Structure 1
Amino acid sequence: MTSELTTSSTTPANTFAELGLISPLLARLTELEYQQPTPIQAQAIPSVLAGRDLIGGANTGSGKTATFALPLLQQLSKQPGVVKSSASKGTHSSKGNYVAGLILVPTRELAKQVADSIKSYAVHFNGAIKTVAVFGGVSVNTQMLALRGGTDILVATPGRLLDLISSNAIKLDRVQTLVLDEADRMLSLGFTEELAALLALLPKKKQTLLFSATFPEQVQTLTQELLNNPVEIQLQSADSSTLVQRVFTVNKGEKTALLEHLIKQHKWRQTLVFVNARNHCEHLAEKLAKRDITAEVFHGDKGQGERTRVLEGFKAGEIDVLIATDIAARGLDIEKLPVVINFNLPRSPSDYMHRIGRSGRAGEVGLAISLIDYEDYHHFKVIEKKNKIRLEREQVEGFEVDEEITAELLEAMKPVAAPEGSGKKKRKKKKSVNADIWAGYTKPE
């Protein structure tokens, strides 16, 4: 795979009209009060409209959904028999259980959010472009009914899509455009096998678009097998003028007390707190309840109905504190979310940027706080290195770190040197799981 690298030095378009978008889309963008294209939109939309494969990297909240949704709608609108006259009700005219545009996402919430955005952008097509979202946690029968006659655009999580394909509810042999949203997660180990199975069902000739806030090194190799001479646009920046990042050191065992202090002192009414495990959500919520702070939890063990209720309540400001696992690090779009707190540091350094990206979106001012004790020191340095940031360590009055104890604990945690001559057995290099899974995939011509 060769790629053309586009950087922010390219002169950006000042208006959506300059990007070559058609009047139904321009009218809708005006109604939505979209003032001008974001950098990723200005640089990527012309290439997507031209049919090019594309790798798009930009910070969360930078408008990636519109970047692929608007060109996809425009391309579909030009197909014969799809969009009817605005004077009449548009009807979905194609037959069969087909899909024209397929958008794969990692979470249920993101699937619904992307589909809702596309439907909003398509208002002036009068229902002619059909969009369906499918994901787990809800009745598959309802989704099968929605897919009768096929759909122009399908937004799906991989597992549920495979279920629907096995039931003959949908086929992928007519897909013209494939979009991988949050591509780094889609290509990670948890989704690679499912994604490979789906790719085998897609036509070789298609447009492929990859969008994400981060592209770890291991993903780069896989993208070479997916795209054909793509345009590459990388606009990520760890330094956002609208998002302030702060790091507070604290003694081990005092994180909950510090969290309580921060919430009450600043009277935050929407606080998203990240932890690393489902049981940690419940445990922290119980501890905060004893401190007169009511919190709801959001994780994968919750049923879809409960997840939707909690998320909508948090978005509406009815829930002050939401404690969540990394399932909320992607696909959670909350306008003007004031603060995100890492109670536990994310295991993956790339997830740090996704977590803090829930605040400070679309130019709004945001705050991201990480609480670290001595056990977190080394891992946070790794996060800084991987994300090319360096943050000052701060202390909150009344929660100062006991430097003497911390120094002793850090010294005790140092690895003990192996006795001279003992030698370590060479570990056999583990064969890449990805290599096995992707070995049979044929690169599109």
Structure 2
Amino acid sequence: MLTPRLIESALESCEASPRQIFLAYSGGVDSHVLLHLCAQDPTMRDRLTAVHVHHGLQIQADAWAEHAEATARDLGVNFLLFRVDAHPKSGESPEEAARNARYAALKSVLAPGDALLVAQHQDDQLETVLLQLLRGGGLLGLAGMPASLPFGRGALLRPFLPVRKQLIDDYAAAHRLHWVEDPSNNDSVYDRNFLRRQVLPLLKQRWPSCAQTVARAAGHCAEAHALLVDMAAESFGEVCQESDNTLSIERLNAFDLPRRQLIIRHWFRRMGLKMPSQAFLNRLFEQVIGAGMHGDPVLYGQGCQIRRYRDRLYCLKDDHDEARQDIAWPKDWEAITIGKRLTLSCVRSMAGIPEAVWRQAVVTVRFRRGGEKIPLPGRQGRHSLKKLYQETGIPPWQREAMPLIYLDGKLAAVADLWISAEFYREDQCDCIRFALRRD
């Protein structure tokens, strides 16, 4: 039997009682039942907002939005409508595009301490796990949907996850609820609909409790995945260099292949990238790690580039390469932005470029054109940047992006690495150095 206590129990799983409760309300039967249950409890209703996302993909979309607003009003619940562009971009499926647009809208409403309720249930879990199995998903995929997870600045909760679909339908009928039907749910061209309409009825005929047993198996997979994540984090700490998030290839190769793959997947997870496929991992080990110390291989995919330099493995965003143009550093500015990912700042120091010299000069940031040399404090002669980069182990693709700071046309500093002996002073109170931050 469905009661508000089910939702209260889900809310109690949060670290603190949510200040505001948002509910993803499509107008379909599942989210309608969830909204109706929440509205029965005054302590929830006073904090509750029904959020309807208007995808604009169906001719009935305007009518659905009107129905959602009217239902929320009748139940005494706050209402919020989002209109989104859910048309697929290059490389996106229609389902993925709609989901991404919907999740982006829902995330935007959450403040820290808020909760979002969604109405996915036990039968949805069954479909999710079977789809992951048919697509060759790993443990994380076979774990299905978690009952709760961080979402935007708040948390996403699935209070119906242990609930059979039939119980939801029975509740809707008993309370004479009126909901909308999305005709796309009947289109078996979509994998999930094909499973729901063609496959699951046969499975349930033979195994009536398959939703419960698959949910239990998903729980086992979730537990196993959590253990692997802990193991991966421990091994990752032995391989990763925190300062630049690179991996030591020598230390990585000291592990057996399954552990190496686990470490790479953990690396991707930390960077917020999609999990690499097995084929991608195979290419990474063969083409990049297997290229040898002096190669410069590049592997593209997953929205990033994987490269190696000497013993280090690097993961770079695909958009890291940008046109390099001279930048005039405005007077009295403490920092400038370079492209999308770099910020160059002045830092007060007891040694460096005297601030008076800095303030009086015309400051320009340029990029490497070849042949640049710089004298360094405590070293004889002038040194080519090419040799200095090699000595320091700066990867080739980073060298072109290193900002060169010129004062009145003279090279005064190279990013946060070196200051020219011509400008460098010690034991002065008012000097500056530079800090380079990569986002």
Normalising by the smaller structure, the TM-score range is under 0.3
Select the structure of larger CA radius of gyration. 2
Normalised to the residue count of structure 2, the TM-score between the two structures is 0.21
Highest RCO, 1 vs 2 (Cα 8 Å, sep ≥ 6): 1
Bigger proportion of residues as strand: 2
Normalised to the residue count of structure 1, the TM-score between the two structures is 0.21
